[in-house]
Chain A
Amino acid sequence: MTTMTEIQTTQVYQVFILASPEQIWEAITNPDFTQQYFYAARVELKNGRRMAYGPGGEIWGDEAILESDPPRKLVHQWRGQYDPDLAAEEPSRVTWEIEPHEGGVTKLTVVHDQLEGAPKTAESVAGGWMYIISGLKTLLETGKPLKS
C-alpha cells in the first residue's frame, strides 16, 4: 500500500445548493458575484472567452470557452495565470454542470480534468475548489460571503 498521494488528474467537486440553475449560472458568470467567493476574482464571459480579473484589474485568467449552455453547462480551459509557475504548465479543463434536483435544490458539479500536463496546478487547485464551492453555496443561500 502506498502512503503517497498521487496527482489527481481528474478532480470532482459536487454540492447541492438551495437556488435555481439560473441563479447559479449568474453567480459563476457575473463579476459582482464571483468577487465575493472566488478569491476576489471578477469573472466574466466575453467574446467567447472566460476572463478573470484580479482586484487591480490584472488578468488572472483568459481562457477559451469550450462549451456554453446557459444555465446548465459551462466548459472552459484553465491555466493558472495568477501564478507564473502554474501558467507555465499545460492548460487543463474545467466543467461546470448545473442540474435541477428537487425541492428548489440544484446540484452543481465542478470537474477539473485534463490535468496530466499540469501537476502543480492539480495540487494547487485541490483546496481552492473546495473553498470556492463552499463559499458559492454560502453566498447563494445566505446572501453573505464566507468569512475569510
Chain B
Amino acid sequence: MTDDDRVFKALADPTRRFLLDRLFARDGRTLTELESELDMTRFGVMKHLRLLEDAGLVVTRRSGREKLHFLNPVPIRLIHDRWIDKYTERQVSALANLKHELEETA
C-alpha cells in the first residue's frame, strides 16, 4: 500500500474522521479522553487510532507518563498538493482560456 492509499483508507471511515475532528478542536489528547467521546470499546478506539497513526495522520508523543495523540495535517496537505491542486488548476486555466477566447471574438 502506498502512503496515499493509507491516507485515503484512514479517511474512509466516519469514526476515524470523528477522531481527527476531535483532535483538530483540541490537540494532544490521551486515549482515555478520546475514548470518552465515543460509544466504543477502548480496544476499538485503539484500533482506529492505530490506522490513523499508520497513515501518518496521528502522531503520538510521550509527556511524562501519558501518551498524547496529535493531529498531523501534513499528509492531507500532500494529498491536496498531489490531487486537488492539479484538477482545480485545469478548471481555472480552462476558465481563463474561455475568457480569453470570448474576448478575442467579441
Q: Does A5 touch B at the CB level, under 8 Å?
A: yes
Number of A-B contacts (CB under 8 A): 52
Please tell me if the beta carbons of B28 and A137 are within 8 angstroms of each other in the complex: no
Please tell me if the beta carbons of A12 and B81 are within 8 angstroms of each other in the complex: no
Q: Does B106 touch A at the CB level, under 8 Å?
A: no
Please tell me if the beta carbons of B59 and A16 are within 8 angstroms of each other in the complex: no
B25 contact set on A, CB distance < 8 A: 2-6
Cβ proximity bits B22-59 to A, threshold 8 Å, 1 near / 0 not: 00111110000000010000000000000000001001
Number of B residues whose C-beta is below 8 Å from A?
20
Residue of B nearest to A130 (CB): B77
B85 contact set on A, CB distance < 8 A: 147
Q: Which secondary structure dominates where chain A touches chain B?
A: mixed
Number of A residues whose C-beta is below 8 Å from B?
24
Q: Tell me the complex Cα distance, A1–B22, Å.
A: 10
Chain A interface residues (CB < 8 Å from chain B): 1-6, 8, 10-16, 109, 111, 130-131, 133-134, 137-138, 146-147
Q: Which 6 A-B pairs have the closest CB atoms?
A: A12-B70, A130-B77, A8-B27, A134-B77, A15-B74, A14-B72
Chain B interface residues (CB < 8 Å from chain A): 3, 24-28, 37, 56, 59, 61, 70-75, 77-78, 81, 85
